[in-house]
Amino acid sequence: MSRTLILVKPDAYARGLTGEILARFERKGLSIVALEKQTLTAATAETHYAEHKERPFFGELVEFITSGPLVAAVLEGNDAVKAARQIIGATNPLEAATGSIRGDFATEVGQNLVHGSDSDESAAREAAIFFPSL
């Protein structure tokens, strides 16, 4: 068993897709260990996305992720990072498989509905940002 951190981003929250998205993870066999609606400060967003600091879209990314409420969750299951990323789909929704969240519900890379940790190390680092008492 392992854990991953997912974010139902502000676009998904605003579109009322939170339940649909969480249900897909649960149906796959991932269970919810922690769940909270949060509105991020720029400082928290910059910490979470620190690895993208030098990217040209960093400012846009921080602006978007702080633009409204999101839902953060820690999920647990067999190979949770890989399982969640399969459910989420490729970063660019136009390249994401039909049946994945991004493939089914999004068209723009900057508004791709969900974030999922990319490794066990990232999952531990990111979970500590959103759920420091976990």
Catalytic residues: 115
CB of 115 to ligand CMP, least distance (A): 3
The CA distances from residue 96 to 41, 54, 77, in Å, are 29, 25, 23
Nearer to ligand CMP, 16 or 56 (CB): 56
CB of 110 to ligand CMP, least distance (A): 4
Alpha-carbon span 93 to 33, nearest angstrom: 27
110 binds ligand CMP (CB under 6 A): yes
91 binds ligand CMP (CB under 6 A): yes
Stretch that binds ligand CMP, among 22-30, 33-41, 55-63, 73-81 (CB under 6 A): 55-63
59 binds ligand CMP (CB under 6 A): no
Stretch that binds ligand CMP, among 17-25, 33-41, 98-106, 107-115 (CB under 6 A): 107-115
Query: Whose CA is closest to 86, among 10, 1, 6?
Result: 6
112 binds ligand CMP (CB under 6 A): yes
Using CB under 6 A, pick the residue from 34, 61, 90, 129 that binds ligand CMP. Answer: 61
Sheet of strand 2-8, all strands in order from the earlier edge strand to the far edge: 31-38, 70-77, 2-8, 114-116
Annotated binding site: 9, 57, 85, 91, 102, 112
